[in-house]
């Protein structure tokens, strides 16, 4: 085969292949178009079915809504008819009630008018009866007044006669009484003069006897006072010597101690001995505000018993107390070696008169009432610290 034939053959094959390829592509394009058209047709059919179903549902809903509206309209119409019937019944009942009330009111007005008429008739009868009674009473009163006037006139005449007789009798009695009184006064004057003279003599005798007795008592009191003063002076000297000896023995027997630091109020125990509860409470409240420890005793005996059980740091005592006075308490404490160094503050209203006795009894501080509170606090602090450093 020649080259030209080969080329022609190749060319023919190429042309056939080209046309075959075009035919294949044309078929595939037609098939795709048909498929698209079928898909679109199916979509349109589905859309129409969906639209038809929606229309059917809408129609069903519209029918249902229309039925509900018809039912509601019928219900509303029935309710309106029922309300109308109820209103008609209520109106008819109200009209009947109004008619009955009007009838009742008319009957009541009629009854009231009849009652008023009857009351007026009764009132007229009573007024007539009252007027007749008043006329009768007026006549009776007039008659009674005339009778009373006549009786009073008769009584007045009798009283005047009686008064004249009484006056005459009284004048005679006064005359007799005056004469009797004059005689009695004369006798009384004589008796009183005699009694005055006797009383004067008796008073003089009594005064003389009383003066002699007073002089004798004064001499006895003076002798007793001198004796008691001598005994008291001797007792004070003995007690002072005993206290000084007790202090000396206590100082000699006490072991030496190292200087102690100053006590704080919280560490200081203060005893208040007073028979007045008011004074104890007032002083205790003052010391409490300063943070001191406070112990209270009702009198000297109570204080002595408490001190024997527990020794305070400072003692504040009154002078006059039942059982044991403040001076006796101070002397007893100074006579005991265990309590001889206890600081004692004595409070009294007559400090100048008791100063000597307080010093003899061993009192450290004597405060006169009233005293400044800060002065008492200063004495307590000083005495408590001096005791701690002694």
Q: What is the pLDDT along the chain (390 residues), one digit of tens a residue?
A: 688 888 888 888 889 989 989 888 888 888 888 888 888 888 888 888 888 878 888 988 888 887 888 898 888 788 878 889 888 878 877 888 877 887 887 778 887 788 788 777 888 778 878 877 788 877 887 887 678 886 687 688 666 888 667 768 766 677 766 776 776 657 765 666 566 465 556 545 644 555 555 445 445 444 554 555 446 545 555 655 655 665 566 555 544 444 456 789 999 999 999 999 999 999 999 999 999 999 999 999 999 999 999 999 999 999 999 989 999 999 999 999 999 999 999 998 876 778 899 999 999 999 988 889 999 999 999 999 886 555
Question: What local confidence, expressed as pLDDT, does residue 203 receive?
Answer: 42
What is the C-alpha separation between 322 and 124, in angstroms, rounded? 96
Domain identity same for 238 and 350? no
At residue 257, the pLDDT reads: 44
- Look at residue 118 and tell me if it is in a domain: no
> What confidence score (pLDDT) does residue 186 get?
74
Distances (CA, A) of 1 to 5, 12, 13, 27, 175: 6, 15, 16, 37, 221
Is residue 300 one of the residues assigned to a domain?
yes
| 370 upstream amide cis, omega within 30 of 0 | yes
Residue with tokens 């509206």: 69
Residues 345 and 385 in one domain: yes
Is 204 among the domain residues? Answer: yes
Which long-range contacts (C-beta less than 8 Å, at least 24 apart) are formed by 333-337? 333/304, 333/307, 333/362, 334/239, 334/242, 334/243, 334/246, 334/247, 334/361, 334/362, 335/239, 335/242, 335/243, 335/246, 336/246, 337/246, 337/249, 337/250, 337/253
Query: Same domain for 238 and 174?
Result: yes
Compute CA 194 distance to the chain's CA centroid, rounded to the nearest angstrom.
Answer: 75
| End position of a domain, from candidates 219, 249, 279 | 249
Cβ atoms within 10 A of the Cβ of 378, count?
A: 12
- 355 and 273 belong to one structural domain: yes
Give a yes or no: residue 344 inside a domain: yes
Residues 385 and 282 in one domain: yes
Print the domain residue range for 368.
266-389
- 189 and 302 both lie in a single domain: no
pLDDT of residue 169: 79
Residues 281 and 192 reside in one and the same domain: no
In a shared domain, residues 281 and 374: yes
Whole-number pLDDT of residue 205: 60
Same domain for 275 and 340, yes or no, is yes
User: Is there a domain that residue 297 lies in?
Assistant: yes
Q: Per the structure, how many domains does the chain have?
A: 2
Q: Is 363 contained in some domain?
A: yes
Tell me, yes or no, whether 271 and 383 share the same domain: yes
Q: Same domain, yes or no, for 284 and 359?
A: yes
Joined tokens for residue 328: 């006796």
Claim to verify: residue 232 and residue 318 sit in the same structural domain: no
For residue 358, being part of any structural domain is answered with: yes
> What CATH number is given to the structural domain containing 330?
3.40.50.2300
Does residue 329 fall inside a structural domain?
Answer: yes
């Amino acid at each position: 085969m020649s080259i030209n034939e080969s080329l022609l053959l190749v060319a023919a094959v190429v042309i056939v292949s080209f046309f075959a390829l075009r035919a294949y592509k044309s078929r595939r394009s037609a098939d795709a178009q048909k498929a698209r058209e079928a898909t679109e047709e199916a979509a349109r059919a589905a859309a129409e079915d969906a639209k038809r179903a929606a229309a059917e549902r809408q129609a069903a809903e519209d029918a249902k809504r229309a039925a509900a509206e018809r039912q509601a309209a019928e219900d509303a119409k029935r309710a309106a008819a029922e309300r109308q019937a109820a209103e008609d019944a209520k109106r008819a009942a109200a009209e009947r009630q109004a008619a009955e009330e009007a009838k009742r009111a008319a009957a009541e007005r009629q009854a009231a008018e009849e009652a008023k008429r009857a009351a007026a008739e009764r009132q007229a009868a009573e007024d007539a009866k009252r007027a007749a009674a008043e006329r009768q009473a007026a006549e009776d009163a007039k008659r009674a007044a005339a009778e009373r006037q006549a009786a009073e006139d008769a009584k007045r005449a009798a009283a005047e006669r009686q008064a004249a007789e009484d006056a005459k009798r009284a004048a005679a009695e006064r005359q007799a009484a005056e004469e009797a009184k004059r005689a009695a006064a004369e006798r009384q004057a004589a008796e009183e003069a005699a009694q005055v003279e006797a009383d004067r003599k008796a008073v003089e005798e009594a005064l003389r006897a009383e003066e002699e007795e007073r002089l004798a008592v004064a001499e006895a009191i003076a002798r007793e006072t001198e004796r008691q003063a001598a005994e008291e002076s001797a007792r004070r000297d003995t007690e002072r010597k005993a206290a000084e000896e007790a202090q000396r023995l206590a100082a000699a027997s006490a072991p030496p101690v190292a200087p102690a630091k100053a006590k704080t109020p919280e560490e200081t125990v203060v005893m208040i001995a007073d028979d007045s509860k008011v004074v104890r409470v007032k002083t205790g409240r003052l010391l409490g505000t300063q943070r001191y420890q406070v112990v209270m005793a009702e009198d000297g005996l109570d204080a002595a018993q408490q001190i024997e059980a527990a020794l305070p740091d400072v003692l504040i005592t009154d002078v006059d107390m039942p059982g044991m006075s403040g001076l006796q308490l101070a002397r007893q404490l100074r006579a005991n070696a265990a309590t001889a160094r206890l600081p004692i503050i004595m409070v009294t209203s007559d400090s100048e008169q008791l100063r000597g006795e307080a010093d003899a009894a061993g009192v450290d501080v004597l405060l006169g009432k009233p005293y400044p509170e800060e002065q008492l606090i200063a004495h307590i602090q000083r005495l408590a610290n001096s005791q701690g450093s002694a």
